[in-house]
Structure 1
Amino acid sequence: MPPPRIRFAAPDDDEVLGRLDRDTWSYLHAVVPPQQPPHPPFFSDRFGPRDHLVAELAGRLVGYIRFALPTPLPTNAHVRQVQGLAVATEARGRGVGRLLVRAAVDEARRQGARRLTLRVLGHNAPARALYEAEGFVVEGVLPEEFLLDGAYVDDVLMGRSLLDGARRNAAARDS
């Protein structure tokens, strides 16, 4: 089977992405239970199609990554933050998540970002391993930040530079 095609989401993807989000929901990666019907639109005023890259496999959406500005402040406009990642159960183990993370890194660089950050639940070992393999490092831990399904769970802050070695060294000299 060919690798997934990665593209920006389109407005018409709203319903399919909403269903994917609900179908993959778990306390392993989510801190808020899914809403009961009627379900709100997937896209919102805060996150639209251009804040999502999607993975298509055999003409079907099987994953997405949401990345956007972490705040509206101009002082950290050089940072992008992963704010959601989901892969359909039947597409797991095929590298879809890895391709989406790599595509987000590439797109954040294209947008001029210097850093990409994220938050991941401490008990989500598969996601943490993926992010570490893609160059993210733990930058902080908020111990027992969430009470999920009767257990206290850490909130792990991770990040990575988007500068290549030469640009990073030059930036360090200039600061």
Structure 2
Amino acid sequence: MPEPSALRIRAAVPADGEALSLVDRLTWSPLHAVMPEPQPPYGPFFDERHAPEDNLVAELDDRVVGYVTLTRPTKLACNRHVRQIQGLAVLDEARGRGVGRALVRAAVEEARRQGARRITLRVLGHNTAARALYAAEGFAVEGVLPEEFLLDGAYVDDVLMGRSL
């Protein structure tokens, strides 16, 4: 699907924290989240583990509608060549408009720009839409942790996916 002309992917800035926190709350679902549903008072989106520079923001018509978080999976020097997608969210109103695909592609390009050789992610086994998107963008299943999480009374696999850059 072609990207809509009003779609823009850009680096996050500190001022995006509130909008990204709202995206997180509005998109929370046991389909993709292992953490409990956010409750007030809501903590900050950016923290010591995820700084603004670890995120790319999707805007439609100058409104934040999604993000992707891309970081190093560990602080180990021997793992410096890998980047990991640690969050991807798109508001319901923006789904079906190529936003998620644009964010994944932007994360891949950003990982390349940073000199990474690989990019990885984890996705819940029952999230078939996300798995299909990642597969269409060149990610392959590299491992499965069976029944890793108990969500809404059902055991769910944790699927590890990755690709070379």
TM-score range, shorter chain: over 0.9
Paired amino acid for 2:145: L
Q: Which residue of 1 is the match for residue 93 of structure 2?
A: 90
- Measured in 2, the distance between the counterparts of 1:30 and 1:15 equals 19
1:21 and 2:44 are equivalent in the alignment = no
Q: By how many angstroms is 1:140 displaced?
A: 0.2
Task: Give 1 or 2 for the bigger CA radius of gyration.
Answer: 1
Q: Which residue of 2 is the match for residue 54 of structure 1?
A: 57
Q: Specify the SS of the correspondent of 2:129.
A: helix
1:34 and 2:42 are equivalent in the alignment = no
Q: C-alpha offsets along residues 22-52 of structure 1, whole Å, 9 cap, x if unaligned?
A: 1000000000112321100000011011000
Q: Which residue of 2 is the match for residue 2 of structure 1?
A: 5
Q: By how many angstroms is 1:123 displaced?
A: 0.1
Q: Specify the SS of the correspondent of 1:152.
A: strand
1:144 and 2:147 are equivalent in the alignment = yes
Q: Specify the SS of the correspondent of 2:45.
A: coil
Q: Which residue of 1 is the match for residue 84 of structure 2?
A: 81
TM-score normalised to the size of structure 1? 0.91
1:131 and 2:129 are equivalent in the alignment = no
- Measured in 2, the distance between the counterparts of 1:135 and 1:102 equals 10
TM-score normalised to the size of structure 2? 0.97
1:108 aligned residue (98, 107, 111): 111
1:70 and 2:73 are equivalent in the alignment = yes
- Structure 2: give runs of 5+ residues left out of the alignment: none
Q: Specify the SS of the correspondent of 2:37.
A: coil
Runs of 4+ in structure 1 off by over 3 angstroms are none
- Measured in 1, the distance between the counterparts of 2:29 and 2:22 equals 14
Identify the range of structure 1 (117-126 vs 32-41) with the bigger mean alpha-carbon deviation: 32-41
Work out the percentage of aligned pairs sharing the same amino acid: 71
2:122 aligned residue (113, 119, 124): 119
Q: Specify the SS of the correspondent of 2:83.
A: strand
Paired amino acid for 2:51: G
